[in-house]
C-alpha cells in the first residue's frame, strides 16, 4: 500500500513537471514567434503579397512538409530528449531551493 502511494505521488510529480514544462516552453515559443513576426513586419512592411502567396497550393505544401517533419522518428526522439532534459533541470532547480 505504501509503495502504491509513493508511486502515485511520483506520477503526480512527473505530470506536474510535464505540465509546467509544457507551459514554460509554450510561452517561450509564443514569445519567439511574436518576435519573429515583428521582425518580418519590420523588414517587409506590407505583407499582403506574402499572405496571398501562402494560400491554396503553397499552404498545403507547407502543411505536408510539417506533417512529414513531425512524423520523422528523429524529431520525436529529439523532442522527448528535450522534455526529459528540461524536466531534469526543473527537478534540479527545485532541489536547489
Task: Indicate whether 92 pLDDT > 80.
Answer: yes
Prediction pTM value: 0.34
Q: What is the pLDDT of residue 43?
A: 74
Task: Indicate whether 20 pLDDT > 70.
Answer: yes
Confidence tier at 67 by pLDDT (50, 70, 90): confident
Pull the grid cell for residue 14.
512527473
Q: Are 17 and 91 in contact (CB under 8 A)?
A: yes
For residues 91 and 18, give the distance between their C-alpha atoms in angstroms, rounded to a whole number.
Answer: 11
Amino acid at each position: 500500500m505504501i509503495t502504491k502511494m509513493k508511486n502515485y505521488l511520483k506520477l503526480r510529480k512527473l505530470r506536474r513537471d510535464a505540465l509546467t514544462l509544457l507551459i514554460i516552453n509554450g510561452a517561450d515559443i509564443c514569445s519567439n514567434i511574436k518576435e519573429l513576426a515583428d521582425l518580418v513586419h519590420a523588414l517587409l512592411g506590407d505583407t499582403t503579397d506574402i499572405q496571398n502567396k501562402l494560400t491554396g497550393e503553397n499552404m498545403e505544401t507547407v502543411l505536408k512538409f510539417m506533417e512529414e517533419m513531425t512524423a520523422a522518428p528523429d524529431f520525436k526522439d529529439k523532442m522527448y530528449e528535450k522534455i526529459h532534459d528540461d524536466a531534469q533541470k526543473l527537478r534540479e532547480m527545485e532541489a536547489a531551493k
